[in-house]
Structure 1
Amino acid sequence: MKFTSIMKMAFFSILSNKIRSLLTMLGIIIGISSVIVLVGMGEGTKQKVASQIEKLGTNLITVNIVGNRNKAVSTSELEELKKKPGVKDIAPVLNQGNINIKGGDKTATTTMEASTPNYSTIRKLNVDSGRFIEQNDLDNRFKVAVIGVTVADELFGSRNVVGETININGYNFNIIGVLQAQGGSGGNSGDDRIIVPLTTAQRILKSRDIRTFYIEASDKDSVSEAMGYLQLFLNKKYNNDTKSYRIFDQTSLLETSNQANDSMTAMLSGIAGISLVVGGIGIMNIMLVSVIERTKEIGIRKAIGAKRENILTQFLIEAGSISGIGGMLGVLFGYAFAYIGNNYLKMDITISNNVVAVAFLFSVLVGIVFGMYPANKASKLNPIEALRFE
């Protein structure tokens, strides 16, 4: 029997039971679309996190001195550390939370950061209007401030506030710039803060303690070298007490984030893959029912000369076609949901063609594997017994 004839018979059998075939495909459709969307969500999230971290700089190292009893670092020590190989620049920061500020007749509470002009370069900060802190501000301890857009909106209801005056804990500061919006929420918002010259804050707060500083490595490949010298400096200063400080570098953060995201994506994909297996079991069940329904037909075909491999091939084609068509529909649904998610639900779904191809081929394989037993059973039917079957 010609292969084309077997194909026609297989597809005729599928089309003659449209509803049953569609319901059989449902498990495959759900499984394929779930795998595509979940992996796409994982990849989209990974790319978004990587983009955010890269905006901060993959060569950025953050150091926090913890514990009130631990002595802070000095600007002179940081100047010495800046001379080490792999270290491009260092920005010391004096942080003060819950600062009361007043602008006009409105008040607010925010966070104050005091630093140097290179802070904007190291932290990738840009001003939307005005300017950032300059060396002249530090040298003269000028009471100037750069504010976030949230602060500007809360106090003045506008972002065009350069030249206005705000009162910070009883001291009047002149606004010299407004930062570009960065986003975030709550305490993590980069828009709800003010930045003032380091020397000015040290005088007002009567504290020279620097417990946070940012290091910019020469490039991404120099991070480990800069980290080595930083570790030597901190170990010497704090007598090898690693609990006295915390070090964060963006590269490690990115790697950790990617590993966690990959693990979560793999777990979700595995759960979605179960749908494919369930769909395969559904195919096997329906094919077994089909064998019973068509027992007499199989007996007639064998009696007039159909070989065992012809019957086996026909049933495998039916199983593979059901899973294949279900796979194609699943791919279409996966792309459709990704489009809706990206454009209307504000989700980050990145579809990989490789994932789509593997998922589709796996769906066809599932159909063939689970269709093997019914096909083999049909091909082994005794034609005499099959003809007697009622």
Structure 2
Amino acid sequence: MLWETFFLALRAIRRNALRSSLTILGIVIGVAAVISMVTVGSGATQKVTNDISQLGSNMLNIRPGQGMRGPGGARSSSDPFTVEDAVAIENNVAGLNAVAPTSQVSRQAIAGGANWSTSITGTTNGYFPVRNWGIEEGRMFSDGEINAGAAVGILGATVREELFGNQSPVGQSLRLGKISFKVIGTLEKKGQSSFGRDQDDVVIIPLRTLQRRLAGNTDVDSIMVSVRDQISTKRVQESIEQLLRQRRSLKNGQPNDFMVRDMKEIIDTLTGTTTVLTALLSAVAGVSLLVGGIGIMNIMMVSVTERTREIGTRLAIGALERDVLLQFLVESAVLTSFGGLIGIALGLGGAAGICLMIGVPFVFNPGIIAAAFLISAVIGVVFGYFPAKKAASLNPIEALRYE
């Protein structure tokens, strides 16, 4: 009985192909929009998570100052860190994998006839495990180079390409400002971060070299800390804050004049934001499903009116009301299910194109596909019920006399 009803529904849809196509247009658009928004949103969330994870594994970033004060406010000034602060953290805080004091300046990098304005980071070998950043060619700094403040550098992929092209820069020289440096290595390519910054546009040199020869001070802009796996970053953060408060002679009740930021908290905040935005956009797109459902109901009402004599004939020869009700419900559900399938195909294709254009990964989510198809079928049943009920309740005699 159900199969027969299904084939009757297909025949009715095929008989009015153009009207059926226009009827499901709202469902197609709604399903396609929802799938596109959810898929692109999932890809954006994954990209944010991956990009921030590239900044470091279980990383804490410690900076002087109290952060931003109000919209557009500047970070409050405070005394910078010193190398001794980083050494104290490394020696007195348990559960650490690596500690890297860092300072940054910008200079023009020159090699032969090529030049490139870039960011120069002064640090120690702890920077590489903290940032989860491997050496592609060459080597890291030796202890002697770090202690003596030697003029050696490790190039990011962008600087290497801009200054040396396809040639290996290892062993060659370049100038940073007025100082000549020897290239001892190159970094693995990381690419652009979610904040639009080219992570590979950097030259890494020993911290003491930057302080003495480029910055002219002993300041440390930030201290990066990598926490071991299975160790609570929250507990490590509290230990660091307690240690730095002692070293900076802060009394009870005084606020910290430094910040300890957990990268996991940043990931949670950004992914939470993208998830909310995705849900909001999907809800807006889902409105078209409601519009499509109303369109289904209207067209089914027209169909019932046009097929009044057919319905009367079925009822007159013995069809029960539930048979007529089932026929129109199945017809409505089949119609919206076809719309759902077309919307799924268009949504996945559109999402793939958008992901390719904006550079986020395409995340296939079978759950949202199944949900979109189910919702489209349910819309057919819900919005098709009133027309189906009207058809089933027709009086056979009146229906046969209908002109």
Unaligned runs of 5+ in 2: 66-74
Counterpart contact for 2:103–2:221, Cα < 8 Å: yes
Matched, 1:196 2:205: yes
Aligned residues of 1:320 and 1:365 also touching (Cα < 8 A): yes
Match of 2:25 in 1: 26
- AA partner of residue 62 (structure 1): N
- Kept in 2, the 8 Å contact 1:129–1:162? The answer is yes
Q: Is the 1:93–1:113 Cα contact (8 Å) retained in structure 2?
A: yes
Work out the number of aligned pairs and report it: 388
| One-letter amino acid matched to 2:400 | L
Q: Is the 8 A contact 1:64 1:212 kept in 2?
A: yes
Provide the alpha-carbon RMSD of the alignment: 2.5
Deviation at 1:109?
2.3
Residue 144 of structure 1 and its aligned partner are, at CA, apart by 1.0
Rounded to whole Å, the distance in 1 between the matches of 2:323 and 2:76 is 82
Equivalent position of 1:117 in the other structure: 125
| Matched letter for residue 365 of structure 1 | V
Q: 1:5 to 1:197 in 2, by over 3 A?
A: closer
1:57 offset after TM fit, Å? 3.1
- What is the 5 A alignment of 1:283-362? 283-338=296-351, 347-362=360-375
1:44 corresponds to: 43
1:170-206 C-alpha deviation (Å, 9 max, x unpaired) = 2221111122222228982222221111122222233
SS in 1 for 2:318: coil
- Corresponding residue for 1:270? 283
Q: Is contact 1:146-1:175 (8 Å) kept? A: yes
Residue 346 (structure 1) shift: 5.2
- Map residues 1-390 of structure 1 onto 2, 5 A cutoff: 2-66=1-65, 69-82=77-90, 83-97=92-106, 99-184=107-192, 188-204=197-213, 205-219=215-229, 221-236=231-246, 237=248, 238=250, 244-338=257-351, 347-390=360-403
Q: CA deviation at 1:91?
A: 0.6
1:69 and 1:50 map into 2 onto residues whose CA distance is: 31
Counterpart AA for 2:242: L
Q: Identify if the C-alpha distance between structure 1 residues 111 and 56 changes in structure 2 by more than 3 Å, giving closer, same or farther.
A: closer
The answer (yes or no) to whether the contact 1:148–1:191 under 8 Å persists in 2 is yes
- Paired residue type of 2:386: Y
Q: Partners of 1:174 and 1:321 in 2: how far apart? A: 71
1:345-367, CA deviations, whole angstroms, 9 ceiling, x for partnerless residues? 85522121111111111110001
Question: 1:59, 1:220 within 8 Å by CA — same for their partners in 2?
Answer: no
Cα distance in 2, alignment partners of residues 38 and 350 from structure 1: 11
For the 8 Å contact 1:36–1:351, the answer to whether it is kept is no
Q: Alpha carbons of 1:109 and 1:8: their partners in 2 closer, same or farther (altered >3 Å)?
A: closer
What runs of 5+ residues in structure 1 fail to find an aligned partner?
none
Residue-by-residue CA offset, 1:79-118 (whole Å, 9 max, x unaligned): 2222212333211012113x13332244332211111111
Aligned residues of 1:85 and 1:225 also touching (Cα < 8 A): no
SS of structure 2 residue aligned to 1:13: helix
Q: With structure 2 as the length reference, what TM-score do the two structures score?
A: 0.88
Contact 1:86 1:225 in 2 (8 A): no
Which whole-Å CA distance do the structure 2 matches of 1:143 and 1:298 have between them?
92
Aligned equivalents of 2:31, 2:255: Cα separation in 1: 48
